[in-house]
Amino acid sequence: MPSVSHKGMSMPESPIRKLVPYADAAKKKGVKVYHLNIGQPDIETPKQFWDKLKTLDIKVLEYCPSNGIASYREKFAGYYNRIGIPVNATDFMITEGASEALSFAMMSCLDQDDEIIIPEPMYANYIGFAAAGGIRVTPIPTSIENGFALPPIEDFEKAITLKTKAILICNPNNPTGYLYSKEELLTLRNICLRHDLFLFVDEVYREFLYGGKTFFSALNLDGMDKHVVVFDSISKRFSACGGRIGAIVTRNKEVLAAALKFGQARLSPNSLAQIAGEGLFDLGKDYYDGIIAEYQKRRDVIVKLLNEMPGVSCPNPGGAFYAVASLPVKDSDHFCQWMLENFSHNGATVMMAPASGFYSTTGSGKNQVRIAYVLNTENLTAAAECLDLGLKEYAKAMVRELVN
């Protein structure tokens, strides 16, 4: 019998999705599951999107150009220019979500066994995309005590080898919610210029900023047009995760040309979500203000409740809608599974993403979880109560296990 590849065997399971069978089993038993494991917002996809679908007058659902529908790229670029990032529609390649954008950019810029430096904890799927491309991830640890800020420049310098081709950050960060400052981006600029590295920045959460913070795009770094590759998506901005529309944005034409060849091989991104979603870029300040106010309220509720729990610590995120908390447990993989298999309170339990999968360094983050605050404050409060009681019950269960 033929066997699957080593690559197939060594691909990491998604920490965000690997516990899904346990959640499904809990639901089958009638237990309600609060999903804090996945960045699937409950915010409604704007009405404009659904309205557009109702008025389509199309006969054939055709392939679109491999780099996306021209008018869609124009609209996307228009939104960038309005928020102060001067780019052209020709700087965009539309992809199946930011996921495909990251895959294509990695393969376009890094060869087998080349290295990409990523501060950890990192978005788990970066590890997956790198593994699929045979690319090595060099993690640089950040610490929960320091709120997951950018590590000192020396840590980067030490990690750089002849094989290093790029640095990747997510800003604001998934999973930590950390918002990188302009100063931190200037530091990265210096490193990339000195060592001739690409600077990959995942900016899909750039609108999600709290406490009056401001965002600085890597595309606005001076003298970095050839180095900076930005990833974007409509998933979170317009609560349209299932649309799978993202983009590579870069002024480096060689990178776009290489990415386009990967894009041609898969023919085109899906047309429908582009056609229906084009108008979303016209949404104004009111739309964003409303959503950001809602997420800020949620952040304030969940971070406060988490830090009130005995033995729990959670830095206050500056952006995105995630937080990484350390819990009084030895193995959050085990705890998260236990919550789904063995615990409920008022007929409900909580699903979280064990943080170990967000670390490329084996053994790191074992007592941490990522929490996506994508539920309304009422549900978040109920989920927090559930988690608090679950932690206490789990501690007792662990003691019982030791005794027996």
To the nearest whole angstrom, how small is the minimum distance from the Cβ of residue 49 to a second copy? 7
The secondary structure of residue 370, as a DSSP letter, is E
- Please tell me whether residue 380 binds a second copy under the rule CB under 8 A: no
CB atoms within 10 A of CB 117: 25
What are the φ/ψ torsions at residue 151 (nearest 5 degrees)?
-65, 165
Contact 319, 291 (CB under 8 A): no
Of 54 and 396, the one with the shorter C-beta distance to a second copy is 54
Residue 165 is a binding residue for a second copy (CB under 8 A): yes
6 sits near a second copy (criterion: CB under 8 A): yes
Nearest to 93 by CA among 85, 103, 84: 103
Which one of 39-47, 148-156, 281-289, 299-307 is the stretch in contact with a second copy (CB under 8 A)?
39-47
- Can you list the positions of beta strands (E) in 121-242? 136-141, 164-170, 198-202, 228-233
**Looking only at residues 266 through 305 of this chain, which bind a second copy when binding is defined by CB under 8 A?**
266-273, 276
Which position among 37, 125, 217, 344 is part of the footprint of a second copy (CB under 8 A)? 125
Contact 198, 167 (CB under 8 A): yes
Give the residue with the Cβ less far from a second copy, 192 or 336: 192
From 76-84, 236-244, 287-295, 337-345, give the range in contact with a second copy by CB under 8 A: 236-244
Backbone angles phi, psi at 314, to 5 degrees: -145, 115
Q: Rounded distance, CA 85 to CA 253, Å?
A: 18
Cβ(395)–Cβ(328) below 8 Å: yes
Applying CB under 8 A, what is the total number of residues that bind a second copy?
Answer: 87
CB-nearer residue toward a second copy: 122 or 197: 197
CB of 273 or CB of 314, closer to a second copy:
273
Q: What is the token pair recorded at 372?
A: 């996506």
The binder of a second copy chosen from 77, 87, 122, 197 (CB under 8 A): 197
Distances (CA, A) of 142 to 155, 195, 371, 400: 10, 22, 18, 35
- Pick the binder of a second copy from 194, 211, 254, 361 (CB under 8 A): 254
Whether the Cβ atoms of residue 315 and residue 204 lie closer than 8 Å to each other = no
Among 20, 31, 89, 283, binds a second copy (CB under 8 A): 20
Q: Interface with a second copy includes 2 (CB under 8 A)?
A: yes
What would the x/- binding string for a second copy be over residues 45 to 84, using CB under 8 A?
A: x---xx--xx-x-xxxxxxxxx------------------
Among 31, 32, 40, 187, binds a second copy (CB under 8 A): 40
35 binds a second copy (CB under 8 A): no
Place of tokens 């199946």: 96
DSSP string, 77-112: HHHHHHTT----GGGEEEESHHHHHHHHHHHHH--T
Told to check if 100 binds a second copy by CB under 8 A, we report: yes
319 scored as a contact of a second copy (CB under 8 A): no
Q: Which is nearer to a second copy, 84 or 242 (CB)?
A: 242
- Select the residue interacting with a second copy from 85, 87, 94, 109 (CB under 8 A): 109
Q: How far is the CB of 159 from a second copy (least distance, A)?
A: 16
- Nearest Cα residue to 166 out of 238, 252, 79: 252
**Closest distance to a second copy from the beta carbon of 158 (Å):** 20
Least spacing, CB of residue 255 vs a second copy, in Å: 6
Give me the long-range contacts of 84-88 (CB less than 8 A, separation at least 24). 84/217, 84/220, 85/217, 85/219, 85/220, 87/219, 87/249, 87/251
C-beta of 111 vs 308, nearer to a second copy: 111
Contact between residue 196 and residue 109 where contact means Cβ atoms under 8 Å apart: no
